[in-house]
Amino acid sequence: MAQRREILAWCDENLQTAQFQDYAPNGLQVEGREEISKVVAAVSASLAAIEYAAAIGADMLLVHHGMFWKNEPVTITGWKQRRIATLLQHQINLVGYHLPLDAHPEWGNNAQLARKMGWQLKRQTGEQNLLNIGCLSESQSLAVLGAHLAAELEREPIIAGDMSKPIKTLAWCTGGAQGFFTQAAAEGVDAYVTGEISEPQYHLAHETGVAFISAGHHATERYGVQALAEAMKCQFGLEIYFFDEQNPA
């Protein structure tokens, strides 16, 4: 068992949250009980995740996608009221880390995706070091890379590019980072991997010759919050559970 303030201070120090300009608050978002022994980790603070945390008697729900985003309505009604009411009823702390968890060199979503896929990181660049540049252990076709992603992430990717093209160098950023594609292409990589695709990326992939792979926002961001939760377990002796949802997006 640990004190909430100790856990939050440790997370802030290790994730360097003060260095990031983000779209939602990082750290404690809804206050629950002070003493923490059981933590549920999940990608998003959905009602399903909250209800699971309540059902097993968790003291904290640790997520990557929390609440109170800048583009959300500020009123606490409807779906937001139901989420917050359930958290408060069961005294569950909602704790979220967004960009600091994406960028962390060990526990981050980008680092964890690379580890799972066997990619070699060369450097981080771009806005808040969120764009990763690296390479595969050996050259393979775009089709083989896509199949490997599908097998590891359990989601069929959307691919724009020549499926027979050999891929050796690549850039990646998990989640909704399709906007980094032009910067990735300017780095001279063979392919760019992220979680989402918008209409322009299809054309840019064919015109630049850089393959674009959308491997799923949820699918690419399952692993950072689990790594952070495991680190918290080692540091504080907490009981950790992971809640996942079959989110195809």
Please say whether the beta carbons of 149 and 215 come within 8 A. yes
pLDDT cut 70: percent of the chain above it: 100
- Give the helix ranges, DSSP H, for 104-141: 109-117
pLDDT tens digits for range 103-153: 999 999 999 999 999 999 999 999 899 999 999 999 999 999 999 999 999
HSE on the CB side for 91, CA within 13 Å? 9
Structure confidence at residue 1 (pLDDT): 87
HSE on the CB side for 122, CA within 13 Å? 12
Number of Cβ atoms within 10 Å of the Cβ of 28: 18
Please say whether the beta carbons of 191 and 211 come within 8 A. yes
Number of Cβ atoms within 10 Å of the Cβ of 249: 10
From residue 155, how far is each of 146, 166, 215 by CA, in Å? Answer: 10, 22, 7
Tell which CATH architecture fits domain 2-102+222-243. Answer: 3-Layer(aba) Sandwich (3.40)
pLDDT tens digits for range 4-44: 999 999 999 999 999 999 999 999 999 999 999 999 999 99
What does the pLDDT average to over 45-66?
98
What does the pLDDT average to over 169-182?
98
Tell which CATH architecture fits domain 103-220. Answer: 3-Layer(aba) Sandwich (3.40)
Kindly give, in sequence order, each residue whose CB lies less than 8 Å from that of residue 13, ignoring residues fewer than 6 positions away: none
Domains 2-102+222-243 and 103-220 share a fold: yes
Domain boundaries, the chain: 2-102+222-243, 103-220
